[in-house]
Amino acid sequence: MRDDDFFWEGAKNNQLLFQCCTKCNEMRHPPLPMCPNCQSLNWAPSEASGRGTIYSWIVSKHPGARPDDPGRLVALVDLEEGIRFATNLQIENRDDITEGMSVEVFYDEMDGNTFPFFRPVQSV
């Protein structure tokens, strides 16, 4: 079993799961064998809200891509639970991205795998 199997199993079920220390309740990502807060080895998966704000972002272009390829947006999202999460960001107009923008998780399937992505919060 890989250390992050629970994360990918959660994604298949449209859940954003992170490790949560069962001693001090500190959530963490990426998965670690020991809690950096209290050094406990005990943890359980815990579902995050999937809401956060943009901390930073870049346009990532693969070196072998065509010159007109717009690249993908990679963002650091500060989740409500205190985790800073690296993810792909989907937005209609890249010029609309701002630091502190509210975002939410959504799930998409690619090549038979389900991935969590983020987008601006959808108005109701």
Alpha helices in the chain (DSSP H): 5-12
Q: Residue 64 has what pLDDT?
A: 81
Q: Residue 123 has what pLDDT?
A: 65
∠ CA(89), CA(114), CA(47), 5° rounding? 80
Pairing verdict, β 51-60 and 72-79? antiparallel
Q: Where are the beta strands (DSSP E) in 4-99?
A: 17-21, 27-28, 43-47, 51-60, 72-79, 84-89
Domains of the chain listed by start with CATH number: 1-47 (no CATH), 49-124 (2.40.50)
∠ CA(120), CA(44), CA(15), 5° rounding? 30
d(CA 9, CA 118): 18
DSSP structural state of residue 28? E
d(CA 93, CA 112): 28
Question: Is the omega angle on the peptide bond into residue 36 within 30 degrees of 0, that is, cis?
Answer: no
Q: Residue 62 has what pLDDT?
A: 84
CA separation (Å) from 14 to 23, 64, 102? Answer: 26, 32, 19
- Which pLDDT tens digits describe the chain residue by residue (124 residues)? 688 999 999 999 999 999 999 999 999 999 999 999 999 999 999 999 999 999 999 999 888 878 888 889 999 999 999 999 999 999 999 999 999 999 999 999 999 999 999 999 986 5
